[in-house]
Amino acid sequence: MKPTSSKTIIRLKDVWKTYFMGKVSLDVLRGINLDIYRGEFVAILGPSGSGKSTLMNQVGLLDVPSKGKITIDEVDISTLEESDLAQLRGKKIGFVFQQFNLIPALTALENVILPTIFQNLNPEVRDRRAKELLALVGLADRMTHRPNELSGGHQQRVAIARALVNNPEIILADEPTGNLDTKSGEQVMELLMELHHKEHKTIILVTHDIEKAKHAERIIYLKDGEVERVVHSK
């Protein structure tokens, strides 16, 4: 299956990430070259220590490379100030993490609204948008519940709604089913697939689970900080 568009939305060109511990250097990413296309569902697959999390931080604009170039919609991120980078990240990318990262004191609705505050949206617009998204993920009757009143599967649905609230083009899901039981994990994967097919979102799934990776159109295998191979699964 081909992506919705042949246009590259994220490009990594010869990206290296090196960490220094005193006089010792460690190359965690080693010359990554990767194009991700608009409307594509991609899985980044590899064992612990392969560089998945570091690559996720690069793709998600949470970190900058030691060497190489990253572009988002043809914008070189190295040319941006940190404030501009944060704005680009907030508008373009929605994050779904393994740990949910919900704020315990806030309701489901308040957790979903939170990212919109930094994008200067009208309060009425952001409230309506958050309610629509909670309904979309099947939580219309859980909006006033706090995280400790929700199951793990429901908390991850809140996290997905939060990731969507600024209408990003890209959803970056880092082991999104890692803390869920089998049934809840399957439901989360089905929801990501639905967002891909119906909303035409670009989905980047970071995982060590080959069965989860098979949902993607393309699987990028990482080993020792390098792209070992790329497999088209659909």
**Predicted confidence band of residue 207 (pLDDT cuts 50, 70, 90):** very high
pTM reported for the whole predicted model: 0.89
Domain assignment of residue 122, yes or no: yes
Domain assignment of residue 45, yes or no: yes
Domain assignment of residue 68, yes or no: no
Whether the per-residue pLDDT at 181 is higher than 60: the answer is: yes
In this predicted structure, what is the pLDDT of residue 234?
Answer: 61
CATH number of the domain bearing residue 177: 3.40.50.300
Main-chain phi, psi angles of 107, to 5 degrees? -75, 170
For residue 97, give its domain range.
40-62+83-232
Whether the per-residue pLDDT at 228 is higher than 50: the answer is: yes
Could you give the number of structural domains in the chain? 1
Whether the per-residue pLDDT at 2 is higher than 50: the answer is: no
Whether the per-residue pLDDT at 112 is higher than 90: the answer is: yes
In this predicted structure, what is the pLDDT of residue 78?
Answer: 87
156: left (phi over 0), alpha (psi -120 to 50) or beta: alpha
